[in-house]
Chain A
Amino acid sequence: DTEVTQTPKHLVMGMTNKKSLKCEQHMGHRAMYWYKQKAKKPPELMFVYSYEKLSINESVPSRFSPECPNSSLLNLHLHALQPEDSALYLCASSHPAGTRPYNEQFFGPGTRLTVL
């Protein structure tokens, strides 16, 4: 199974809502990532988890809260978002750095988020 799944595919939320994005993989990868992608722009790294521990937070506002409950799951909790947070949120997974000569990342299809 070389698939990364993400739910939901689309999400519309108000600025006062709390919602969560979910990501799952069963490839045995111990590194998982969240990216944000605005229209016609490249993906931007938000968070990196390695062995279920947060290893990188690329200066992301606290209204985004990641969680890695186990080695297969990655969540992104959303609270009090702004309209400018509307974007495609991509999850990816890979073997952790240093465990292979080089690693590719496997991406999920993304969640299209609209904040009203």
Chain B
Amino acid sequence: SQQGEEDPQALSIQEGENATMNCSYKTSINNLQWYRQNSGRGLVHLILIRSNEREKHSGRLRVTLDTSKKSSSLLITASRAADTASYFCATVAGANNLFFGTGTRLTVIP
């Protein structure tokens, strides 16, 4: 299976705190993407990092990638209640097909 692993499985923090979630994968990749999913709905693309990049920022999001360790992390700074959702990493190897990690359920308490 090309599915990646994410940890933690669930994370609960207070509003204003930072949230960090980690993703490990198994195969070589072209890029790694992070998606967000609100309860039982469609996924929304957050950020993409290419295999030759080590860090990328977008607003309150910071993504790192370590291809030698086959791992990535997503940091959400200054979290808000509206950030409550499930977050999935997804790897892209050859064709543009996404293979999702197991996901982290984030709860931000107001």
Contact = CB atoms under 8 A, between A and B. Distances in A.
A55 B95 CA distance: 10
Which label, helix, strand, loop or mixed, suits the secondary structure of the B interface? strand
A20 interface: no
A88 B40 contact: yes
Interface string A91-116: 01011110000111111111010000
B103 to A, nearest CB: 5
Interface in B31-88: 31, 33, 35, 40-45, 48, 50, 88
Interface residues of B, number: 26
Interface of B: 3, 30-31, 33, 35, 40-45, 48, 50, 88, 92, 94-103, 105
9 contacts: A31-B96, A41-B103, A43-B43, A95-B96, A97-B96, A102-B50, A107-B44, A109-B42, A110-B42
